[in-house]
Amino acid sequence: MNINASIIGASGYTGLELINILSLHPNVTLKYLVSRSNSGKKVADLYPSLYALGNKEFSHPSVEEIAKQSDVVFLALPHGESASFAGKLYDLGVKVIDLSADFRYDSLELYENTYGITHPRKDLNDKAVYGLCEIYRNNIKKARLVANPGCYTTCSILPLYPLLKEGIIKSNSIIIDAKSGISGAGRKAKTDYIFCETSENFKAYSLTNHRHTSEIEEKLSIAANRPITLSFSPHLLPIKRGILCTIYAALSNINADIETIYNDFYKNEPFVKILPETLLPEIKNVAGSNDIQIGFIKDKRLNRLIIVSCLDNLIKGASGQAAQNMNIMFGMEETAALKFSARYI
Amino acid sequence: MNINASIIGASGYTGLELINILSLHPNVTLKYLVSRSNSGKKVADLYPSLYALGNKEFSHPSVEEIAKQSDVVFLALPHGESASFAGKLYDLGVKVIDLSADFRYDSLELYENTYGITHPRKDLNDKAVYGLCEIYRNNIKKARLVANPGCYTTCSILPLYPLLKEGIIKSNSIIIDAKSGISGAGRKAKTDYIFCETSENFKAYSLTNHRHTSEIEEKLSIAANRPITLSFSPHLLPIKRGILCTIYAALSNINADIETIYNDFYKNEPFVKILPETLLPEIKNVAGSNDIQIGFIKDKRLNRLIIVSCLDNLIKGASGQAAQNMNIMFGMEETAALKFSARYI
Amino acid sequence: MNINASIIGASGYTGLELINILSLHPNVTLKYLVSRSNSGKKVADLYPSLYALGNKEFSHPSVEEIAKQSDVVFLALPHGESASFAGKLYDLGVKVIDLSADFRYDSLELYENTYGITHPRKDLNDKAVYGLCEIYRNNIKKARLVANPGCYTTCSILPLYPLLKEGIIKSNSIIIDAKSGISGAGRKAKTDYIFCETSENFKAYSLTNHRHTSEIEEKLSIAANRPITLSFSPHLLPIKRGILCTIYAALSNINADIETIYNDFYKNEPFVKILPETLLPEIKNVAGSNDIQIGFIKDKRLNRLIIVSCLDNLIKGASGQAAQNMNIMFGMEETAALKFSARYI
Amino acid sequence: MNINASIIGASGYTGLELINILSLHPNVTLKYLVSRSNSGKKVADLYPSLYALGNKEFSHPSVEEIAKQSDVVFLALPHGESASFAGKLYDLGVKVIDLSADFRYDSLELYENTYGITHPRKDLNDKAVYGLCEIYRNNIKKARLVANPGCYTTCSILPLYPLLKEGIIKSNSIIIDAKSGISGAGRKAKTDYIFCETSENFKAYSLTNHRHTSEIEEKLSIAANRPITLSFSPHLLPIKRGILCTIYAALSNINADIETIYNDFYKNEPFVKILPETLLPEIKNVAGSNDIQIGFIKDKRLNRLIIVSCLDNLIKGASGQAAQNMNIMFGMEETAALKFSARYI
């Protein structure tokens, strides 16, 4: 099998990762790398790490042209802007993997409240499948429009989903203390992200009001079959890649066998690694890979469960998961082009 | 006024910081810099940043000689070992500031359980004053033996103390998610701390069983006048210096005026900066200084208070606070040699 | 003695460092902190590390008002713009320390060629003294206008000056391979300087055409009393502060006693540390201080001298040297407010 | 084709990289991962990034057993120790790729002087081929014992070889100012390499006497067909991976067409990227890949050529080149398992 893939918004960091992954994929030909601001520039001039692409250029063709030449289009565009492109491509019959938040929500109202935007393609929201591969695989197989989850979201939902489904977590006890590398902010020329302002620093931001909170709550409420509210507290780590979430939850049953619940739920999952109790994951063990690692520890003294989950925000939290979704949508081997190990160093 | 100060365990990072601070102090002469392993070596050969010390050497005199030549002795020694030195120096009439945990606990039993050590100088435990300057200043003034608090401890107790005293925090709701720079581990040749294992990494460690937990709980229980238990979760940041604690607590009264409570409690404190609600401190704003900055935000939706506190683990969390204790003990200006600003860059 | 000091261009990193230094100076009152873009904003809101400044604000008064209230004005402005301000302030009788390149050159032609600017105050160029304290101290004492040297320049000239004066270096053999921390680029919101583009990276830039080349060549030609040309190759280190220059030169006399030449030339200099042969300085030994450290090694096999010099680009390479110039100009203790040690950690 | 590969000294960083590469190789089965100190431990317990290896363990079988089960053995052992293993394996008929220095030298005398060791297998030195793939490919094809070049060496020889062969560089004018990431020092628990001693630091080391100097000189003398001596000055960068060399050389002919010389010499080389004149490589463009990038600039004013070369010390500088050698030795596709792009971020 061979398919043609294009990327709209190809010149940012998620674009770069998608290019990295797709150019090694045995069944994929990279077609259009769309970037308005870099149109006409060689990809290898912007990212000299990609010199193997030779003279391949960023371009800016019409949506129709992109649709005509592509079997699948990845959208790495800002929220709001993405839905319009996704809609047009969908209408033209191409499969779409949207890395923005535009089709992530079951509730359009929640989306609009969270992002302060009137959704431009409300009609398509029901067609979209939430692309959290391990949970929605069966729907993704048949989907023509996949909404790729957020990075924090993936790192939060995967460790909590099985436990909430199992009903062993007390209502409203969940706190997610999340720490992310700076690539989560993309390739923005902002003083806040220059080296001298970020290195040797650490800070919290968007406490109580980060947008991923509502996305996490919506999906976990489905898992729990009751409304879940929680604290989500992001922090900025002085590293390039990786997210680590330290998750606190009160157990309704302190004797629940967490390890078995996890292993049953995630058995055979190639990208989910459950660690034995008390062993904890670290960012270097997942950065550069499509893996999520999950560790946990019960604090019997306080009847509290502490979970630590880790992934690479640009891979499992964005472009890797997007490629995994593509693999599922096209019936290709799910791990194709995604088998590389984490960096460690 | 001029006093002579010596440091036992002078060649580690807390020693280095003490030397840095004390050598700029207008009322202090550095006497003995004691280091068994580096005895006879020039200080400036080990730490060439200190070349202004000229030919000053590490030495290893007898405790009696140290006592004779010193008005105050700082102990930067491992737990257990420190108490014996402290005891001898105390017996010889010298004022002692012990940076170890040996005299930090009111309860000897809690100390012995936490550190797995039989305390060698139980007789002195009642004489020791806990050197958290802002809380115990009046006792420190009269103390001959001060137990300098731990770094995590200072960053945890100062933001929680006034609120627990005020009785506005629900029992057993406190979670301290703490993140520390690597200098907290000292100057140890351990694979875990080499650059390639720590840079671009982040991890949790000692979840549910870090030793500072019991120190924090004991002091906060005094503040609350009831037993406080809490989760304390340390993490390792890829930075040299600084601790940031994100603290979660359920409010018994969501309308409590946190800012006023803080400002009343810490008014006139030169090293405590309370930020206006929703403004949050960052490590770069305190690293390199003796300051602690405290910010907070109420999450009314979840009836939860989130506090963020920051300090430099080697200064306010160790050597700076030790010097502040010395200033208080000797009736010198409390900010002497401690007025330098944080680094920012 | 007490003098009033103002800073124009106070909100950048050199401004921040000047504020840090001057606010600890026993003889200086900070008057105006001038910043057009941040006028009206509290200094501590931009740099929360400076909260000890209380409500002190950036402002934007007229040059006349600044002159009236100040004994000395520091200019931390872009090249070209600075000369006009310097000129007006000079005309109004205030002492000026200009951190830009505008008055650094003996040859106006060389300045204009290097910076591509018509000098707006050619008339003042002869009045200006080059503020390399250790070399021009006697002239600085009497100066009303001091041109503070560049960071790379200071790190290059100080180690080479005595050897060229002594005539032991072969013509045109000098190569300066220089490496600088990112704060050298200032506080600019540029993609090139964001964390993800700089951390774990290293690169050369401006090879063969960096502007500091001509400044270094002019001053060294004076030392040598013949025209000196050299290669100056800057690189960007993934650190905040510090410059290290590795300098190569062919010796005309391999038996020349380098250590003695250095020690004779720099004896009694409080901020210059000559290391014994083969011992080499490192950035951590000078970062955060006003020191320059110089080490060297003779390669007898190749008849080549290798010198390694280090300083903090924001302190000895900018604001610290500026304060040192002020101390000299006003007859204050030269080390006042500059005695702090390097960071090491 | 399928071959069995074993690694002796598998638990260090070069071992980790070899495992990473070989486990993705379509024609290779990993057989023994030999580590005396970690024998019996799961690989994924030491390096949790490798959890895809499942229960695969480090082991410590006899050399005979390793030879019996392996078609090729990689040696990642200390100098001196390696030659004995290599010799035994060679005698047993297995192909050997030795990552140590033991068989790198044509001159045994130069090796023994440089490493201060009596070579234990002098008899094999003539059988060994220097594994610099781009230069010695034809000999490597037939070799049974390949001496993999050093990291600094590869980064120095590849850019200089064509120019020396062409005879356009003046004798004894070469200076290589080299900067390496910390992984070059391996996984050693040494105070010098802990985060607090290395981050925000930069230093030179082993000036005039680094061991790679003689290896570089020997190979370049062959290229030039006359004795080449040069300065090689290594520095330690606060990054994990990557080497950048800034190379200075006087041109005997300033009009030499460097770009054409390079492009002719390296045309069709999959891992060598020559940049157009004045464009310079950066470490992030090669780190994580098997690429070397080479840029250059002529300084006509000084008749000097400046070359900048970059590679990943653990990949092209060690394990990647070792795998490339294996591919050549076994007639497999030379780029197999080595096509991954550099990290960039």
User: What does the pLDDT look like over D94-114, one tens digit per residue?
Assistant: 999 999 999 999 999 999 999
Q: In which residue are the tokens 């359920």 written? A: B250
Query: Cα A225 to chain center, whole Å?
Result: 23
Three-point CA angle C23, C290, C207, nearest 5°: 120
CB pair distance less than 8 Å for A194 and C200? no
Instruction: Work out the angle between the directed axes of helices D320-329 and D13-22 (0-180°, nearest 10).
Output: 50
Identify the CA nearest to C99 among candidates C342, C331, C321.
Answer: C321
Query: Neighbouring chains of C at 3+ CB pairs within 8 Å?
Result: A, B, D
Three-point CA angle B203, B206, B207, nearest 5°: 85
Torsional sign, CA A128, A133, A134, A137 = positive
Q: Pick from B208, B302, B304: which is nearest to A299 by CB?
A: B208
How would you list the strands of the sheet with D304-311, edge to edge? D203-204, D231-236, D175-180, D243-250, D304-311, D292-299, D272-274
* Tokens linked to D296: 């250059």
* Tokens linked to C193: 């300087």
Q: Please say if the pLDDT value at position C274 is more than 90.
A: yes
Q: Which residue of B has its CA nearest to A180?
A: B202
Residues of D in contact with C172 (CB under 8 A): 302
Q: How confident is the model at residue C171 (pLDDT cuts 50, 70, 90)?
A: confident
Identify the CA nearest to C272 among candidates C324, C225, C231, C233.
Answer: C324
Average of per-residue pLDDT across C153-175: 96
Identify the CA nearest to A121 among candidates A83, A68, A79.
Answer: A83
Identify the CA nearest to C303 among candidates C253, C342, C247, C267.
Answer: C253
- For chain B, give me the number of helices (H) and strands (E)? 11, 14
Residues of A in contact with C194 (CB under 8 A): 182, 187-190, 193-195
pLDDT at A135: 98
Q: CB atoms < 10 A from the CB of B120, how many?
A: 16
Q: In which residue are the tokens 């007229």 written? A: C62
Residues of B in contact with D239 (CB under 8 A): 199
pLDDT at A171: 83
Q: In which residue are the tokens 């890395």 written? A: A99
Contact pairs from chain A to chain B, CB under 8 Å = 131
Residues of A in contact with D340 (CB under 8 A): 20, 24, 340
Q: Which residue of C has its CA nearest to D207?
A: C297
Map out the domains of chain C with their CATH numbers.
3-127 (3.40.50.720), 152-312 (3.30.360.10)
CB pair distance less than 8 Å for B52 and C341? yes
Instruction: Classify burial at B26, counting beta carbons within 10 Å of its beta carbon; exposed 0-12, middle 13-18, buried 19 or more.
Output: exposed
Q: Where are the alpha helices (DSSP H) in A151-231?
A: 151-166, 195-198, 212-224
- DSSP states of A7-63: EESTTSHHHHHHHHHHTT-TTEEEEEEE-TTTTTSBHHHH-GGGGGGTT-BEE---H
Identify the CA nearest to B165 among candidates B258, B248, B231, B303.
Answer: B258
CB B24 within 8 A of CB C24: no
Contact pairs from chain B to chain D, CB under 8 Å = 60
- Give chain A's residues under pLDDT 50: none
Q: Please say if the pLDDT value at position C34 is more than 90.
A: yes
| DSSP for residue D106 | S
Please state, in angstroms and rounded to a whole number, the distance separating the CA atoms of residues A114 and A79: 11
Q: How confident is the model at residue B65 (pLDDT cuts 50, 70, 90)?
A: very high
* Gap from C63 CA to chain D (nearest CA, Å): 39
CB pair distance less than 8 Å for B49 and C339? no
CB A161 within 8 A of CB A223: yes
* Gap from B183 CA to chain D (nearest CA, Å): 6
* Tokens linked to A225: 């079959």
Q: How confident is the model at residue C136 (pLDDT cuts 50, 70, 90)?
A: very high
Report the C-alpha dihedral over residues B274, B277, B283, B288, rounded to 10 degrees: -20
Q: Pick from D281, D284, D340: which is nearest to A340 by CB?
A: D340
CB pair distance less than 8 Å for B200 and D240? yes
Q: Where are the alpha helices (DSSP H) in chain D?
A: 13-22, 43-46, 63-69, 81-91, 108-115, 133-142, 151-166, 195-198, 212-224, 258-266, 320-329
Mean pLDDT for chain B?
A: 97
pTM over 0.95: yes
CB pair distance less than 8 Å for D248 and C237? no
Report chain A residues touching chain D, CB-CB < 8 A: 13, 16, 20, 23-24, 47-52, 183, 199-200, 240-241, 273, 281-282, 284-286, 288-289, 291, 293, 314, 339-345
CB B306 within 8 A of CB B299: yes
pLDDT at B163: 98
Report the C-alpha dihedral over residues D182, D186, D190, D192, rounded to 10 degrees: -20
Average of per-residue pLDDT across B169-197: 96
CB D245 within 8 A of CB D316: no
Please state, in angstroms and rounded to a whole number, the distance separating the CA atoms of residues C131 and C121: 18
* Tokens linked to A28: 């994929």
CB pair distance less than 8 Å for A50 and D13? no
CB pair distance less than 8 Å for D202 and C240? no
Interface with D, mutate which of B14, B194, B284, B312 (most D CBs under 10 A): B194
Q: Please say if the pLDDT value at position C253 is more than 90.
A: no
Q: Indicate the residue type of A172.
A: N
Q: Pick from A188, A195, A197: which is nearest to C199 by CB?
A: A195
- Given C133, C151, C245, C310, the catalytic residue: C151
* Gap from D113 CA to chain A (nearest CA, Å): 34
* Tokens linked to D150: 């050093």
CB pair distance less than 8 Å for A194 and C193? yes
Query: Neighbouring chains of D at 3+ CB pairs within 8 Å?
Result: A, B, C
Q: Pick from C187, C194, C200: which is nearest to A193 by CB?
A: C194
CB pair distance less than 8 Å for C340 and B340? yes
Mean pLDDT for chain D?
A: 97
CB pair distance less than 8 Å for C49 and B13? no
Average of per-residue pLDDT across B46-60: 96
Q: Which residue of A has its CA nearest to B308?
A: A204
CB B76 within 8 A of CB B8: yes
- Given D133, D151, D245, D310, the catalytic residue: D151
| DSSP for residue B4 | E
Residues of C in contact with A188 (CB under 8 A): 191, 194
CB D61 within 8 A of CB D32: yes
Q: Which residue of B has its CA nearest to A181?
A: B200
CB pair distance less than 8 Å for B239 and A280? no
Q: Indicate the residue type of B341.
A: S
Q: Pick from D49, D282, D285: which is nearest to A341 by CB?
A: D49
Q: How far is CA B231 from CA A248, A250, B184, B226, C244, in A?
A: 9, 12, 20, 17, 45
Q: Please say if the pLDDT value at position D171 is more than 90.
A: no
Average of per-residue pLDDT across B142-155: 98
pLDDT at A62: 98
CB neighbour list of residue C35: distance below 8 Å, 6 or more residues apart: C9, C10, C11, C15, C41, C58, C59, C60
Q: Which residue of A has its CA nearest to D199?
A: A200
pLDDT at B344: 97
**What are the tens digits of pLDDT across the range A220-255?**
999 999 999 999 999 999 999 999 999 999 999 889
CB pair distance less than 8 Å for D283 and C244? no
Identify the CA nearest to A166 among candidates A203, A247, A88, A220.
Answer: A220
* Gap from B289 CA to chain C (nearest CA, Å): 9
CB pair distance less than 8 Å for B345 and A197? yes
**What are the tens digits of pLDDT across the range D73-95?**
999 999 999 999 999 999 999 99
**What are the tens digits of pLDDT across the range B228-283?**
999 999 999 999 999 999 999 999 988 999 999 999 999 999 999 999 998 999 99
Residues of D in contact with B13 (CB under 8 A): 196
Q: Please say if the pLDDT value at position D254 is more than 90.
A: no
* Tokens linked to C292: 């320059």
CB A310 within 8 A of CB A317: no
Element (H, E) at B141: helix B133-142
CB B270 within 8 A of CB B336: no
* Tokens linked to B180: 């520390």
pLDDT at B166: 96
CB B323 within 8 A of CB B338: yes
* Gap from B236 CA to chain A (nearest CA, Å): 10
Torsional sign, CA C231, C232, C238, C242 = positive
**What are the tens digits of pLDDT across the range A203-220?**
999 999 999 999 999 999
**What are the tens digits of pLDDT across the range D219-239?**
999 999 999 999 999 999 999
How would you list the strands of the sheet with A28-34, edge to edge? A58-59, A28-34, A3-8, A72-75, A95-98, A145-147, A129-130
* Gap from D307 CA to chain B (nearest CA, Å): 28
Q: Is residue C155 classed as helix, strand or coil in its secondary structure?
A: helix
pLDDT at C254: 86
Residues of A in contact with B175 (CB under 8 A): 175, 248
* Gap from C74 CA to chain D (nearest CA, Å): 28
CB D226 within 8 A of CB D167: no
CB pair distance less than 8 Å for D190 and B188? no
pLDDT at C266: 98
Please state, in angstroms and rounded to a whole number, the distance separating the CA atoms of residues D123 and D103: 11
Q: Pick from B13, B23, B285: which is nearest to C345 by CB?
A: B13
pLDDT at C248: 98
CA neighbours within 13 Å on the CB side: how many for C20? Answer: 30
Is residue B151 part of the annotated active site? The answer reads: yes
CB pair distance less than 8 Å for A194 and C195? yes
pLDDT at A253: 87
CB pair distance less than 8 Å for A239 and B301? no
Average of per-residue pLDDT across B75-91: 96
